[in-house]
Structure formats: C-alpha cells, structure tokens
Structure 1
Amino acid sequence: MTEIVVIGAGIVGAACARTLSRLGHRVRILDRGPAMTGTSASCEGNLLVSDKGPGAELDLALAANAGWPAIVAELADELGPAFPAVEFEKKGGLVVATTEAGAQPLIDFAAEQRAAGVDAQVVSDRQARELEPDLTPDFTAAVYYPQDCQVQPVAVGEALLASARRHGAEIRTGVEVLGGIRRRDRLVGLRTSQGDIPADAVVLAAGPWSGEVSDRIGAPVAVRPRRGMVLVTTRMPHRIFHKVYDGDYVGATQSADAALQTSSVVESTAAGTVLIGSSREQVGFDPSIRVDVLREIARKAVTLFPFLSSVPVMRAYGGFRPYLDDHLPLIGADPRLPGLWHASGHEGAGIGLSVITAQLLAADLFGGPAPLDPTPFRPTGRPLVAPDLVVNGGAA
C-alpha cells in the first residue's frame, strides 16, 4: 500500500483521491480551507467540448466527456438515493455569431472540430430558434453541440470526496503546506501547519494556488490565477435550455492576454436561476467584484437573450481559474523532484477534466494503462517546468 498525500480538496483533488483510494492505496487530502470552497465552488460546472479546437486538450475533453455518464452512475449506485444529486444534464450547447464578420469563422471552426471527432452541427435560423425560442433574431450563424453537458460542481465534488472516504481516504482541512521534506533529493513528505506528514507520493492539485504551493515545496510551476465573474438571476421558469454563448468565448478561453476579456455565456440551472458570464483577467488573487465588468457581462448577455433585460439579478460571484500559458493541464511526475506529481492548470475546464486527470495520474504513478496518450500533459519538456527551477528547500 502506497501512502499518498493529495494537496487540494477541490474537484481535481477529490477525483485523484477517489481513483487512488479505489486502487487500494492510503490517501490523505490536505487543504488549508474547507473542501470545495475554492475554484470548484466558483464556476458553472461545465463539461464542454464545444470551446476547444483540435489538439491535445480537445482529445482529453472528448475522452472525459464520453466517460461522465458512467461516473455519474457509479456515484449514484455507490452513495445511494440519500446523497444529493449531482445534477448531471446532457443539455447541449449552442454557439452563435452576432456579427457578419463572426459568422464564417464560427462555421469554419465547427468544420475543424468535426474533423477531430466533435459533433458540431451548423443549424439554420429556424433550427436555432427551435432550440432556443427566446434567442435574439439578430444572429448570423449558429452551431449546435449535443455533447456539451453540465453538473452541479460542488455536488459532484462532494460526491467524489464521499466515495474516496468510503474507500479509506482521509480528508484534513485547515492544514497549510509550508514546505517539502526531502531525503536524498526525493520528496518524502510535507511540512505543514499541523506537523510533518510523510508520503511515498505527493500529488499537487491545488488549482490556482498550485504555483504558490509548488514554490514552497521547492519545485515551482508557472500556474497563475485568472479571475472570472458570474451573475446569477432570481429563479424563474426555464426559458434557456442549453449552454448558449457567443463565438468570442472560444477566443477568450485560448487567449494569453492578461487584460480583461469578456464574452457572453448564458445557461439555466436545475434550480431555475440563470448563470451569466464570463470574464477573464490576470490580476493575481485580487477578489474584488467590479461593477464595470458585471455591466459588460450583462450587456453582452442581453444581446443574446433580450428578455434578460427585465430579469432581476440576485447575486454575483467571482473565482480564480488555474491558468498556464500553453493552455494544457499539467498532469504527471515532476522531472526535477522524484516523489512529486502534478494535477493542475486546467483553467476553466477542471470540472469536466477532473476524473480523466485522475485516471492519467494513476497510470503515471503505477504504470497502468492510460485512457489516452499522456505525453502532451506531462511536466517533462514543458517550458512551465524549467529544469533550473528547483529550489533547495525542505528538510533532509
């Protein structure tokens, strides 16, 4: 039995803990705050393929997307009807262009995605209005993505943690990682605010805080926070039936620009509220909720759904995405420090990619079969993990 410490009790850490504990290993999860209160609690729960172009991230998203129905069924069977539903919904996505200049690029992008295995259906005006009767009539192109899904992110994260506990995992909150413990240049444990914790393997899954924690351990990685904000309406009868966003959203997700970017992303929840995003900016861990950003988000949402102009907003919230410059998650063994593994850098895709990340990590840890080629996601050879960025920290 291997002693494994997972740093981070968000959804990626929960998925890793569940997968590793089900394999028979002893797993401890550490978090300096309560479980599921960071990035996992500040997002929309999207399981998307529509926002990714051909390449390694899309391959990962397609594999993850195909596996989610089975994961949801496993959790329901294991935890029983008394456990809250994870609200998995195969709702599909509708992406629209609202300018003449944006129409053909959206259609061309869908063609590239179809060649890579995505079900991307260019739909007529009539078909788009059948999918979304309240959609603005002033759109110039629309693409339907039936594979897009949604979950309630905190509910599914708590379900993964509950499953991990059933398989022997221990969750310790209020524990801050202060540094690494090394023996002969190998990481063998962690120094924490509650004492030293030994480990055969350490998995860093601290989301946007992974950069900070990796510095403390002595093997820094370039994960940075990327702030976003969301508006939430009051409850109402369902008038939006899919995840609907404008074509600018894809460009925003793939941009490396640190400045503010906004695009329109609108979807209903099972509770009857409407979530309205999104924004992206790199401002460190500044938690400020900016009215000017919310105003721009709201303006673009009304462009897609004019009826929203008369719907009350009951709250707004913000959060931090774990951002990496090459837009690929970091999954696998650190080449500089044996004993350290990474599972971070998913930016806005961490909910959907959480379980398949855990499967890739387990394959890297124990040499089993991987669900797809792990090479693009491994730290080795990535500029984000420079060989000379090893700090002589920790204890002997």
Structure 2
Amino acid sequence: MNRTRVAVIGAGVVGAACARELSLAGFDVLVVDRGRPAGGTTSHGEGNLLVSDKGPGAELRLAQLSARLWPRIIADLDPRAATATEFDPKGGIVVATTEAGAHALKAFAAEQVEAGVRVDPLSTVDLVAAEPALTREVTAAVRYPEDAQVQPAAATLALLGSALAHGARLRIDTEVTGAVVRGGRITGVRVPGEVLDTDVVVNAAGPWAGEVSARLGAPIAVRPRRGEVLVTTPMPGVVRHKVYDADYVGAVGSGGGELQTSAVVESTRGGTVLIGSSRRRVGFDDAIVPDVLTAIAAKALRLFPSLANAAVMRAYGGFRPYVDDHLPVLGEDPRVENLWHATGHEGAGIGLSVGTARLLCELLTGASLSMPVEEFTVDRPAVLA
C-alpha cells in the first residue's frame, strides 16, 4: 500500500511532535534538519508547558489541549525516554509586587477562570509555605496547578525517537534549499545534490521558518526574537515552582523590538535555577550582551533576594519564532498546494508542540478537529509576507 509521504523540515520540538503524530497515523515521514535534532531554538528554551501566561482565546485553547496531551504522550513513551524528559507537573506561581500589578493579575486570572483554567489564589501563609525564599513584598499571588515543565532537548529526542520507532526516517546535516512545484503543487524539496520527492511538506523550522518558506516559494512573516537565560549552580529546594512576576504576560504580548525583561525563576530536576527572561528583536545576532544579563538578574533578585549569593555557571540565548499578532501559524499555504506550516509559537513552542502536531494530523487526515484553527491560518495579514 502506498503511503502519503511527508517531509517535515525541522527536528526541533514542533517538528518532532509532528513527525510522531503523523507516523502514528500511518504517514511515511521523513524529518530533514540542517543540523541535529533539538539543536536550535528547542535546546535554548526552559521547557515550559504553560497555561498561566495566556489570556482567553485561541492560543490558550491550544495550550489547554497540549496540557491534556503531554501526560498521555509521556505515559506512551518508552519508559527510559519518558524518564529522560523530566516531565514535572509542579505548577506555576504568578505574583504581583505593586497594587496596580495585583489588580491586573486578579483581573487576568478571573478571565482565565472563565476560560476553564484552574487558578488557586494564594494567601500570604500559603505563599510562604509554597516558596519560602520568595520576597515578602508581594501584593497578590495565584497558583496555576496545570503548569508543568520538561527538559526540552530530552523531550524532543523522546518524541523523535517514538516517531522513528513507528517508521519515520531522519536526515541530519541536510539543508533545504528550494522546492519542486508542479501545477501549483509542491512535489519535492531540494537539498544539496538531490531532490527529495514528497507528497506533503511541513515547514516546522521555528524562527528560520520565514527563511525556509521563502526558499519554498511562499514566504511567511516569521522572524526571530531573542531571549537569554542565566543558569546557577545547583541550589536544591530554593525555588520549588515556576515563579514569575505578573509583568511577564505583558512582555510576552508586546510587539516592541527594544529590550524587555521580566522576572521568571524556576528550578530543574538537577537543582539548577533558571533565571529569565528577556525579549528583543536583533535578527539572528547571537551575541550574549552583559547588560541584558544584568537586567534579567536585577529583576529576579526582586523576587528572590537570596539569589544574590548564587553562583551563575553559564548563560545562554536563543531565538523564538515571532509573528506580529502573537499567534502560531498552522495550516496549508494558500499559494502552494501541499505546503503546510507549523511555526510561530514564539516562546511557547515546547508547550504547544504536541497540540499543534495533533491538529496538523487531524487536518491532514480530515478527522474531527480537537479545537477550531481559524485564527492560526496562513492567509491572515500578520503572516503573509
């Protein structure tokens, strides 16, 4: 029996999740990456699976779908791979440190409750018990029990490994340079020295999806937005949840290109503390800027003063796939038949990957959709370049 051939461009978390879903559905999947799996944006993330930072709307519904899928997928993985993902449903805590921030946080949380998000207001006593090292200068705090975390590179390799176990193939160090289009339909992708024949192409190249789409003859407006993270030496027990200041939501939703920072602090299974976050548009300039790291650290110290004595062992940065309207791009390109895009998740790609993959598979197979996708389509003004 001839199976539909799908070329997935990109072996990051979104590409790996798509490859897994499509392989399980019986597609003949080839994953193509110009480097190595999880070698780009995915390995430079914090591994957040969040509903807490999204207001009511399509992106929140996608986050809720993904939050339901992640535990099921982890349970279906090979046990060793599942353990390696470090899946941790530890929950998140959002705090305000001003009266204005408290008012905004409570209003935002109330809207989320109406949209079906679980939100637990925390008293001062509850907050101290949950995060003893947190500043006492908190005017409001809420806990989001549905927030979770994974080790992003390990989770990606686990998803990709599952895809390979179900028949998918992988080409590394293979850059896509163009497309073969016949009668308005994509029939192959060009790589150095050959053409890879395919029936369907999925552009899951993250912040490079704009560049890849242009090479395929259908440019989309996905651009890089850079962020940095500080990593301390192990400090087990100091930070117990993902904790961030309420102004983080505003930074996520801003379209400004100038530097924006907010306090985001969380620990890993190994005890290291990840300190973020920053957002700035600098193209693909990967230089680490000391002033950015200083601004990140200063805001984190306002939440956790005890981190002043922490030893920072490294800093890293990465590029998020940014779209002006802050919504993912998911669907078939209206200009080239059989070219699909799955990108534009900005800093939420790890969390949203599995929901995105499920919807892509449903669209390709004609199955009933788990949620509406109209707001993610390619033919919207913010996407068509």
TM-score (norm 1): 0.95
Residue aligned with 1:81, SS = helix
Are positions 1:244 and 2:243 aligned together?
Answer: yes
Q: 1:83 to 1:254 in 2, by over 3 A?
A: closer
Residue aligned with 1:91, SS = coil
Matches for 1:234-383 after TM superposition, within 5 Å: 234-380=233-379, 382-383=380-381
Q: Distance in 1 between matches of 2:27 and 2:92?
A: 38
TM-superposition CA deviations, 1:358-377 (whole Å, max 9, x none): 11111111211221112211
Name the residue aligned to 1:52.
54
Following TM superposition, where does structure 1 have runs of at least 4 consecutive aligned residues deviating by more than 3 angstroms?
80-84
Tell whether the 8 Å contact from 1:233 to 1:312 is kept in structure 2 after alignment. Answer: yes
Tell whether the 8 Å contact from 1:333 to 1:364 is kept in structure 2 after alignment. Answer: no
TM-superposition CA deviations, 1:43-69 (whole Å, max 9, x none): 000000000011111111111112211
What is the Cα deviation at residue 84 of structure 1?
Answer: 5.1
Residue aligned with 2:348, SS = helix
TM-superposition CA deviations, 1:369-396 (whole Å, max 9, x none): 221112211213x11343xx6xxxxxxx
One of 52, 66, 69 as aligned partner of 1:67: 69
Structure 1 window deviating more from structure 2 (199-208 vs 328-337): it is: 328-337
Name the residue aligned to 1:143.
142
Are positions 1:226 and 2:225 aligned together?
Answer: yes
Residue aligned with 1:177, SS = coil
TM-superposition CA deviations, 1:180-223 (whole Å, max 9, x none): 10111111111112411111000000000000000111100000
Residue aligned with 1:373, SS = coil
What is the Cα deviation at residue 237 of structure 1?
Answer: 2.2
User: Which letter does structure 1 place at the counterpart of 2:360?
Assistant: L
Give ranges in structure 1 of 5+ residues lacking alignment: 390-396
Give ranges in structure 2 of 5+ residues lacking alignment: none
Tell whether the 8 Å contact from 1:28 to 1:171 is kept in structure 2 after alignment. Answer: yes
Tell whether the 8 Å contact from 1:228 to 1:279 is kept in structure 2 after alignment. Answer: yes
Q: Distance in 2 between matches of 1:148 and 1:61?
A: 10
Are positions 1:384 and 2:379 aligned together?
Answer: no
Tell whether the 8 Å contact from 1:205 to 1:343 is kept in structure 2 after alignment. Answer: yes
Residue aligned with 2:224, SS = strand
What is the Cα deviation at residue 100 of structure 1?
Answer: 2.2
Tell whether the 8 Å contact from 2:323 to 2:383 is kept in structure 1 after alignment. Answer: no
User: Which letter does structure 2 place at the counterpart of 1:154?
Assistant: A
Q: Distance in 2 between matches of 1:291 and 1:203?
A: 37
- Give the percent of matched residue pairs that are identical in Structure 1 and Structure 2: 58
Structure 1 window deviating more from structure 2 (223-232 vs 124-133): it is: 124-133
Q: Distance in 2 between matches of 1:187 and 1:99?
A: 54
Name the residue aligned to 2:12.
10
Tell whether the 8 Å contact from 1:5 to 1:30 is kept in structure 2 after alignment. Answer: yes
Tell whether the 8 Å contact from 2:222 to 2:321 is kept in structure 1 after alignment. Answer: yes
TM-superposition CA deviations, 1:309-362 (whole Å, max 9, x none): 001000000000001011111111111110100100000111111111111111
Q: Distance in 2 between matches of 1:164 and 1:243?
A: 30
Name the residue aligned to 1:162.
161
Work out the number of aligned pairs and report it.
383
User: Which letter does structure 2 place at the counterpart of 1:52?
Assistant: K
Name the residue aligned to 2:205.
206
User: Which letter does structure 1 place at the counterpart of 2:58?
Assistant: A
What is the Cα deviation at residue 82 of structure 1?
Answer: 7.0
Residue aligned with 1:69, SS = helix
Q: Distance in 2 between matches of 1:378 and 1:82?
A: 33
User: Which letter does structure 2 place at the counterpart of 1:92?
Assistant: G
User: Which letter does structure 2 place at the counterpart of 1:42?
Assistant: H
Name the residue aligned to 2:121.
122
Q: 1:164 to 1:62 in 2, by over 3 A?
A: same
Tell whether the 8 Å contact from 1:4 to 1:202 is kept in structure 2 after alignment. Answer: yes
Q: Distance in 2 between matches of 1:82 and 1:346?
A: 25
Q: Distance in 2 between matches of 1:203 and 1:52?
A: 26
What is the Cα deviation at residue 96 of structure 1?
Answer: 0.7
Residue aligned with 1:126, SS = helix
Q: 1:123 to 1:284 in 2, by over 3 A?
A: same
What is the Cα deviation at residue 80 of structure 1?
Answer: 3.4
Give me the CA root mean square deviation. Answer: 1.1
Name the residue aligned to 2:43.
41
